[in-house]
Amino acid sequence: MKRIAILGASSQIAKDFILSASAVKEYELILYARDIPGLRAWLSEKALTALNVFAYKNYGKQDHEVVMNFIGVGDPSKAAAMGASILEVTLEYDQMVLRELKKNPTRKYLFLSSGAAYGSVFEVPAHYDSSAAIPINSITTQDYYSVAKIHAEVCHRAASSMPIVDIRIFNYFSKTQDINARFFVTDVIRAIRDNDVLRTLPQDMTRDYLHPQDFYNLVHCIIQSPNKNVAIDCYTLSPVSKYDLLNKMSEKFGLRYAFIDTPLVSVNATGAKPHYYSNYYAAAEFGYKPLYSSLETVLNESAAILEVQLNQAAKPTGQVDEIY
């Protein structure tokens, strides 16, 4: 059984991967995190206390065949708050992995990159011939995240003999999503939960929401395939437009929405992206075949979130869950 070291194991997407991997028992997981007590509490809640948890300073002391680097920021508001420090954090842990990779040249390194590596201009979807667009003479805080990912990917391509795969995630959504995070979909879910009217700009946009199972399947395909040094884009069966998503969420969950001229709150850490998805399907070379469309992902995972939220809201004040 191959051993996977997971850096940034406290992140949402890493936790989802841990749950998926633990369910099928295909790999032995070694977890690394900054908040060790918090991660152990979560593992206890999920009945996964047998998994080993270590501080980052211990990375390299435990044998493993694969390392996945989830360290980063998923919430736009947190990315904006980090500012330029995201460059240092990304570089620090990436270099830590690369140093160990030189000592273990057969170890696979899966780096969680982002569609933001293409820059902030998505007038059309990404494709094989796309170029990264950075306003080099007027770099702002919105560009820091993109630059951090681009720099890491360039370093990885320069280490061409090493088995490194950069996995660019555009949008990811699951039932474990923190609905207080500032994403369009979480704004939608909060409006449904609170029976509020969602106020949004009239401009359409298209997004590709990756399902947790598709992410796990992609990683599994990469691990089982021959070594490569390459960057790949994540994709689903099909992306979804903002208008289609609003209509379906209204039809299924009773979402009420209205269009406004200016945003009530602006959290745009990586720039506006009207077509934030990819038509670059190199992941298929690893045998990856998505199972879910973006719309299926959002509808199914939202249903699970809202069921939990409604059940919690229905509990009388002071009620305590029974302990068995």
The predicted-structure confidence for 202-216, as pLDDT tens digits, reads as follows 999 999 999 999 999
Residues 6+ positions from 58 with CB-CB distance below 8 Å? 32
Helix (H, G, I), strand (E, B) or coil at 233: strand
* Distance separating alpha carbons of residues 76 and 94, to the nearest angstrom: 21
Name residue 148's amino acid.
A
Judged against a pLDDT cut of 70, whether residue 314 lies above it is answered with no
Domain spanning 72-174+210-236+273-293: CATH 3.40.50.10490: no
Percent of the chain with pLDDT over 90: 81
Would you state the pLDDT for residue 308? 72
Of 113-127, 240-254, 302-316, give the lowest mean pLDDT range. Answer: 302-316
pLDDT band at 255 (very low <50, low <70, confident <90, very high): very high
Whole-number mean pLDDT of the chain? 91
Would you state the pLDDT for residue 75? 56
Would you state the pLDDT for residue 120? 82
Would you state the pLDDT for residue 121? 83
pLDDT band at 140 (very low <50, low <70, confident <90, very high): confident
Q: Where are the alpha helices (DSSP H) in the chain?
A: 12-24, 36-45, 76-82, 85-103, 144-158, 184-194, 212-224, 242-253, 294-314
Would you state the pLDDT for residue 72? 76
Would you state the pLDDT for residue 320? 30
Would you state the pLDDT for residue 80? 65
Judged against a pLDDT cut of 60, whether residue 315 lies above it is answered with no
Residues 6+ positions from 182 with CB-CB distance below 8 Å? 75, 76, 77, 265, 267
Give the domain ranges of the chain. Answer: 72-174+210-236+273-293
* Distance separating alpha carbons of residues 314 and 321, to the nearest angstrom: 13
CB count, 10 Å around CB of 60? 16
pLDDT band at 262 (very low <50, low <70, confident <90, very high): confident
Residues 6+ positions from 35 with CB-CB distance below 8 Å? 10
pLDDT digits (tens, 9 = 90+) for 54-102: 999 999 999 999 999 999 765 555 666 777 888 999 999 999 999 999 9
* Distance separating alpha carbons of residues 56 and 68, to the nearest angstrom: 13
Q: Which residue has the higher pLDDT, 321 or 80?
A: 80
Judged against a pLDDT cut of 70, whether residue 270 lies above it is answered with no
Helix (H, G, I), strand (E, B) or coil at 147: helix
